[in-house]
Amino acid sequence: MNNNFLNNLQKGFLKRKLSLIGLLIFSIFIFLGIFGPLLIPYDPYKTEYSNRYQLPNNNNIFGTDWAGRDVFSRVLVGAGITLKISIMALCIGSIIGGIIGILIGYMKNNILKMLVIQFNDILLTFPFLVLAILITALLGSNLNNAIIAIGISRIPRYVRIFCLVVNSEKNKKYIISATSLGASKIRILFYHILPNILPIFLVNTVLFFALTIIAEATLSFIGIGAQPPMPSWGLMIRQASENMLVYPFGVIPPSIAILLVVLSANLMADGLREFMDPKLR
């Protein structure tokens, strides 16, 4: 089994150089998200107005912002904030949405199943970001509410994915055979269906991770996510964009950070999809 896993890994994920590049960038982001606060050269919250709008130099490699704070230090701390938001929001969306989707997909066709699917389809008509903005506006503008809003707005997607996959999987021959042999529903669900839908869960979670970062940056940019002086990447872009005529360089570091993380997540998702799909291998 281990040899088969390694062979599939080599044929699928490891042969894609772009996926390996994505994994490297993603690993660096995870490392900076965890250890970034220990690597910062300056206090990311300390203001020094006499030193503001500095271009990159020996002391401040990314320059300073409108308040004289070191941009490099704020980007490193912002990586941890982004990592926290993404993981917590994905936990909310995947756990709640996954449980609902699996249960609804495994149920027989009845009125309850139809009502849940119809309600979920109504929620899916709202664009992801619009739904997150609406929920944040209702809960209030702060980071914790932004995490909850992003997580809730991901639930309908997970419900739809798991419901369709489980509904299709339960009608396959190996499930019918297990049922005819007397296997319980719990055993069928946990020992047969869930292991087979795990690849789909992993690929979509990596993609949703990228969308979560974009959502957090968007909410912070429009002022209903992270609040000052927190060094969120989206908030940094918003504050720098207000002074672009004076200091156009300010938006570049956090924008590139978001771009690299989102790009790495998409490259990894492509590699994982090829690694876990035998048809693509």
Provide the 8-state DSSP code for 139.
H
Three-class secondary structure of residue 31 per DSSP: helix
Binning pLDDT at 50, 70 and 90, where does residue 25 land? very high
Task: Determine the Cα–Cα distance for residues 44 and 46; give it in Å rounded to an integer.
Answer: 6
Tell whether 25 is covered by a domain: no
Domain tally, the chain: 1
Task: Determine the Cα–Cα distance for residues 134 and 267; give it in Å rounded to an integer.
Answer: 30
Per cent of the chain over pLDDT 70 is: 92
Tell whether 251 is covered by a domain: yes
Task: Determine the Cα–Cα distance for residues 281 and 116; give it in Å rounded to an integer.
Answer: 36
Q: 268: burial class by Cβ within 10 Å (0-12, 13-18, 19+)?
A: buried
Render pLDDT for 45-76 as a digit per residue (tens, 0 to 9): 999 988 989 999 998 999 999 899 999 999 99
The CATH number that applies at residue 193 is 1.10.3720.10
Render pLDDT for 191-248 as a digit per residue (tens, 0 to 9): 888 888 887 888 888 888 888 888 888 888 888 888 888 888 999 999 998 888 888 8
Tell whether 29 is covered by a domain: no
Task: Determine the Cα–Cα distance for residues 250 and 75; give it in Å rounded to an integer.
Answer: 11
Residue 5 has a pLDDT of 47
Q: What residues make up the domain containing 151?
A: 87-281
Average pLDDT, the chain: 85
Tell whether 270 is covered by a domain: yes
